[in-house]
Amino acid sequence: MTVAVKSPVDANAKAVVDELMRRARAALAVFAQADQARTDEAVTALAWSLYKLEHAKELAALAVADTKLGNVPDKIVKKQRKTFGTLRDLLRVKSVGVIEEDKKRGIVKYAKPVGVVCAITPSTNPGATPVNKAMMAIKGRNAIVIAASPAGLKTTMRTVDYMRAELKKIGLPEDLVQILPPPASKDMTQALMQAADLVVATGSQDNVRRAYSSGTPAIGVGTGNVPVIVDETADFDDAAAKICASKIFDNSTSCSSENSVIIVDAVYEPMLAALERVGGYRATATEKQQIQRALWPDGKLSRTLIARDADVLARGCGLPAVAESKKFFMVEETGIGRDFPFSGEKLSLVLTVYRAKDFDDAAARVNTILAHQGRGHSVGLHSKDMGRARRLAEQTDVVRVLINQAHTFGNGGGFDNGLNFTLSMGCGTWGGNSITDNLNYMNFLNITHLVTTIPEDKPSEDALFGAYWAKYGR
């Protein structure tokens, strides 16, 4: 058996974390006997702390000022939509006491807390993600301590203040939700990961890897780089409208934002025309080089251009004035891999366009893109052919395959699909993760199985081995 060795941490950081953990466990002792109604009341309180319009507006503006990522109107929508959808999901399920009884198998399942959760949150969603994770953690009657991205720390601290105030209003311990105090440091985050009972990491792959190596049970998420196929049966205007709405939402800060569109040859020009009609700008070969130089000035994505408004990006890339009024920028590409940066995640209003001979070629192109970056995350298809949809699901190593949908509004749960609302998408072992689902309340529960006897269920040897014996002998 391999035993994880915990890395040494700074003594001061450990002292700060020890005090947070003491307070969290004291709050848990008070919350431990909460019934389902009281638990759901707590979850609703956290939801209201962000859904409340004046709070959503304030935190959206603070997030943009704090991180320089995204835009205020879309962040308001994101905060309210994700919180509302998550609350819908959580209020429909049980998480206290008996949550499932299978009489035929003689098994009764009891939900129990996991304890204190360390939640690592990203700069792209410094308000929405902390509340999303806190709602799920509290649904399981846990406490949560948030390790915020330094870039979004002010926003996350204010968000936590609102959550704590709402808990206090309903008579529950504020310390069910806490945050690492500034200045944020890797040492303090490391100490928290080692002290907590569960780590849930959303953000950079460096943070995810550190979570998995902390010695504490951990859940991480993978890298996005969503490719979408458009075939000849698609409704081009509908597909273009959905791709545009998804691509431009919050200036492409979402890991679910479309990064590439693969169009089959037979409808390549009509589909590009549809994308232009909804606000896409088709870059020339020369402009493509300008965009590449500006977006990757030193081989890494430019912090001054990612997640910026279209006019800022256009000027930063030296595009003509007409481009400044467009919504997103299309770059035609043929290559995939390290030498072709447009084939990866761009976190900007740049959409890479590939031309494929037919659907099979497009599906192969998708797998090549995902092998380069984004394996496990998701893929999309705009088509009327459900046979192709099933083939794509069978042949692609991703957790989510969305059909005729806008990824940013569907991947993390939608009101018109059955995925759980979340801001953290698991990508399976393909993406280096332990879950193949949208992060949800079940990830924050321990389950006790009460097992009673049932009538013996023991088939004969012939029932199990008969077909094998008949084919290969004994």
Decide: residue 94, CB within 10 A, 0-12 exposed, 13-18 middle, 19+ buried. middle
Give the rounded distance of the alpha carbon of 25 from its chain centre: 28
Angle at 364 between CA 358 and CA 366, to 5 degrees: 105
366: left (phi over 0), alpha (psi -120 to 50) or beta: alpha
For residue 42 the two structure tokens come to 């707590």
Are the C-beta atoms of 435 and 105 separated by less than 8 Å?
no
Decide: residue 336, CB within 10 A, 0-12 exposed, 13-18 middle, 19+ buried. buried
Angle at 221 between CA 256 and CA 397, to 5 degrees: 70
Of all helices (H) and strands (E), which one includes residue 263?
strand 258-264
For residue 401 the two structure tokens come to 């395959």
Terminal-to-terminal C-alpha distance of the chain: 36
Cα separation of 319 and 132, whole Å?
38
Cα separation of 377 and 224, whole Å?
6
Cα separation of 85 and 40, whole Å?
15
Cα separation of 363 and 203, whole Å?
28
> Which of these, 130, 136, 135, 144, lies nearest to 178 by C-alpha position?
144
Annotated catalytic residue 118? no
| Residue among 244, 255, 317, 427 flagged as catalytic | 255
Decide: residue 29, CB within 10 A, 0-12 exposed, 13-18 middle, 19+ buried. exposed
Cα atoms in the Cβ-side hemisphere of radius 13 Å centred on 179: 27
Residue showing tokens 């098994």: 107
Residues 6 or more apart whose Cβ sits within 8 Å of residue 36: 94, 95, 96, 97
Beta bridge partners of 367: none
> Which of these, 344, 338, 118, 303, lies nearest to 210 by C-alpha position?
118
The CA radius of gyration of the chain, in Å to the nearest whole number, is 24
Are the C-beta atoms of 397 and 370 separated by less than 8 Å?
yes
Q: Which residues are catalytic?
A: 255
